[in-house]
Amino acid sequence: MKIAFTSKGTDWESKMDPRFGRTEYILVYDDEKDEFTHFDNRDIENEAHGAGPKTSQKLFEMEPQVLITGNGPGGNAAQVLEKAGIEIFIGAGEMSVKEAYQSFIDKALKRFN
């Protein structure tokens, strides 16, 4: 299974980014291969509008089954993610990626959709 995180870095110790559309990185953990891939999303700060749909589109291309984030996506982004069939878990905005992953495994995160 592939699990995506909105994060401020690219490894287990990185802090989560509580924002969805304007997250600094999308970090994807493949638990079968035990490896990370990531997308550097920092150019998004130059976008005045439409950050949510743009980041969702990128996430869609990375094909995760699960997204773990902080505040949760806004309306437009949620619409894209729903079409993509990605399960979204929120409330991990103040954690590290490692803590967020553990909380997900422990079923301690809130389901968004």
Partner 1 sequence: MKIAIASGKGGTGKTTLSTNLAAFFAENEELVLVDLDVEEPNSGLFIKGDAVKTEEKYKMIPQWNQDSCTLCGKCQQNCNFHAVIFLKTQVLVFPELCHSCYACSELCPTGALPMVAQRMGQLKQIKKEKLNFIESRLDIGQEQAVPLIGQTLEYIDQNFPKETIKLLDSPPGTSCPVIEATKDADFIILVTEPTPFGMHDLRLAIETMQSLNKEFGVVINRDGIGTNDIDNYCTENNIPILARIPNSKKLAEIYSKGELTYKKFPAFENELQKIKTYITNLKIS
Which residue ranges make up the site for partner 1 (CB under 8 A)? Answer: 47, 49-51, 53-54, 56-57, 60, 76, 79-80, 83-84
Question: For residues 9 and 53, which CB has a smaller minimum distance to partner 1 in the complex?
Answer: 53
Least separation in angstroms between CB 24 and partner 1: 18
**Strands 2-7 and 66-68, how do they pair?**
parallel
Compute, in degrees rounded to 10, the torsion defined by CA atoms 61, 83, 85, 36.
20
Nearest to 18 by CA among 74, 108, 91, 88: 91
Question: For residues 83 and 110, which CB has a smaller minimum distance to partner 1 in the complex?
Answer: 83
For every residue of 25-55, DSSP letters joined together read: EEEEEETTTTEEEEEE-GGGGG-SS-HHHHH
Least separation in angstroms between CB 77 and partner 1: 10
For 63, phi then psi, to 5°, come to 55, 45
Question: For residues 83 and 111, which CB has a smaller minimum distance to partner 1 in the complex?
Answer: 83
Question: For residues 40 and 94, which CB has a smaller minimum distance to partner 1 in the complex?
Answer: 40
SS3 assignment, position 93: coil
Least separation in angstroms between CB 80 and partner 1: 6
Least separation in angstroms between CB 49 and partner 1: 6
